[in-house]
Amino acid sequence: MMSAGEANHPMRAIGLQTSLPIDDPESLFAFEAPTPVPGSRDLLVRVRAVSVNPVDWKQRQRAAQGVRLPEPKILGYDASGVVEAVGPLVQLFQPGDAVFYAGSIQRQGTNAELHLVDERIVGRKPATLTDAEAAALPLTALTAWEAIFDRMRLAEGGGAGKALLIVGGAGGVGSIAIQIARQLTRLEVIATASREESARWCRDLGAHAIADHRNLLESVRSLGRRHVDYILCTNDFEGHWSALCELIAPQGSICSILGAKQLDVSPLMGKSATLAWELMFTRSSHATDDMAEQHRILDRVADLADAGRLRTTLTETLAGFTVANHQQAHTLA
Ligand SMILES: NC(=O)c1ccc[n+]([C@@H]2O[C@H](COP(=O)([O-])OP(=O)(O)OC[C@H]3O[C@@H](n4cnc5c(N)ncnc54)[C@H](OP(=O)(O)O)[C@@H]3O)[C@@H](O)[C@H]2O)c1
């Protein structure tokens, strides 16, 4: 445990105070902040690697639009690191443990030397992965896992004779969803890809068949499937909506990880089909009773990675905790 007196050591962090275009030199800046003190179930983690996802640039654009925040906001969600200190009620980890997690959107982020995170949303870092490889996993893996098992309510080992369509198969979430569905269910997995390279990538990860999202309805139908039982949509949800309504099987489930401004859900009624939403930050934002599910999921993900059954989707590594690297990562995410 850390005493309050130890909180005075400064740590380095990268943050923002106003939402600016990423090519503005002030869009992100380095500063020193007091080392935070763990609350009751918090871990203080020495961050070794972070990964940058679309949520990072979306938060950068939204967090301080037209205002200057009184204190810098630290972005960063996915992280891999080592537990440095623990809060008084922590049960799952101890100092020295290697961990990985996707954090909370309500708290300061992981772009700092030291970071506070509730132990219930943290997993053990996969031993066989580097910190950079491990940091690329939690946010996409939690999203894919929660979408398949918690929102569409598939059972592990289930899905025999049924099909799952993953729209955006080669994306961050789609790539993990293909692997989880193949490893842990008996579903037929159809992934969408529009390029030869992304189609090959989806097949390598285990997709049984590929459809082209540029003409989704015809492409899935040309595979000989009139309907699919489950659809996970990770891209252009509103653009694909009418095709998804056509393709979903009676009593099937559609899960979107994207919001929608305007959506006519009435086509689902005749089929008694379900529309479910998945937001990876819901459990931590609302401190739900089952928040520790994310601890359990990440430990399972670590087991799968260590068993060679789940591949990290790390694309590019930028070495060094610098503003320039974070700005570059925001342009790549
Ligand atoms: N709700 C949540 O908790 C949650 C969690 C994570 C991410 N997200 C959101 O989900 C979105 C996707 O994130 P990601 O990191 O998985 O994706 P990503 O890596 O940015 O997705 C890239 C892939 O999308 C495919 N794609 C491009 N246009 C498409 C279209 N019109 N229809 C279908 N697929 C298309 C591309 O495939 P081809 O190259 O084959 O064309 C490409 O492989 C982001 O907006 C992100 O913010 C939400």
**Same domain (yes/no): 51, 120:** yes
Q: Which atom of ligand 1 is nearest to the CA of 146?
A: 3
Q: Which atom of ligand 1 is nearest to the CA of 202?
A: 40
**Same domain (yes/no): 62, 116:** yes
Q: How many domains is the chain built from?
A: 2
Is pTM beyond 0.75? Reply is: yes
Pocket test for ligand 1, best of 235, 282, 284, 313 (most atoms within 8 A of CB): 235
**Same domain (yes/no): 121, 150:** no
Residue ending a domain, choose from 254, 277, 300: 277
**Same domain (yes/no): 125, 212:** no
Which of these ranges, 169-178, 188-197, 308-317, has the smallest mean pLDDT? 308-317
CATH assignment of the domain containing 244: 3.40.50.720
Pocket test for ligand 1, best of 105, 217, 238, 257 (most atoms within 8 A of CB): 257
Write out pLDDT tens, residues 209-226.
Answer: 999 999 999 999 999 999
- What's the 171 CA to ligand 1 centre distance in angstroms? 5
**Same domain (yes/no): 126, 182:** no
Q: Which atom of ligand 1 is nearest to the CA of 54?
A: 47
**Quick check: 114 pLDDT over 90?**
yes
pLDDT at 73: 95
pLDDT at 238: 98
- What's the 136 CA to ligand 1 centre distance in angstroms? 15
Write out pLDDT tens, residues 75-107.
Answer: 999 999 999 999 999 999 999 999 999 999 999
Q: Which atom of ligand 1 is nearest to the CA of 55?
A: 47
**Closest residue by CA, ligand 1 atom 44:** 54
**Quick check: 3 pLDDT over 60?**
no
Residue type, 222: S
**Closest residue by CA, ligand 1 atom 5:** 143
Cα angle vertex 129, ends 330, 73, to 5°? 30
**Same domain (yes/no): 296, 259:** no
pLDDT at 126: 98
CATH assignment of the domain containing 94: 3.90.180.10
**Same domain (yes/no): 53, 120:** yes
**Same domain (yes/no): 153, 273:** yes
**Same domain (yes/no): 46, 115:** yes
**Quick check: 145 pLDDT over 90?**
yes
**Same domain (yes/no): 289, 231:** no
Q: Which domain holds residue 210?
A: 142-277
Which of 117, 134, 138 lies closest to 44 in space, CA to CA?
117
Pocket test for ligand 1, best of 62, 152, 167, 194 (most atoms within 8 A of CB): 194
Alpha-helical segments (H) within 164-226: 172-184, 196-205, 216-221
Q: What is the rounded average pLDDT for all residues in the chain? A: 95
For the sheet with 10-16, list strands across it: 29-34, 10-16, 73-74
pLDDT at 6: 46
In terms of phi and psi (left: phi > 0; alpha: psi -120 to 50; beta: otherwise), the region of 320 is left
**Same domain (yes/no): 265, 292:** no
Half-sphere exposure at residue 147, Cβ-oriented, CA atoms within 13 angstroms:
32
Helix (H, G, I), strand (E, B) or coil at 31: strand
Q: Rounded distance, CA 37 to CA 7, Å?
A: 6
**Same domain (yes/no): 287, 229:** no
- What's the 10 CA to ligand 1 centre distance in angstroms? 37
- Do 110 and 131 form a contact (C-beta atoms < 8 A)? no
- Angstrom CA distances, 133 to 36, 110, 302, 310, 328, stand at 26, 16, 11, 12, 18
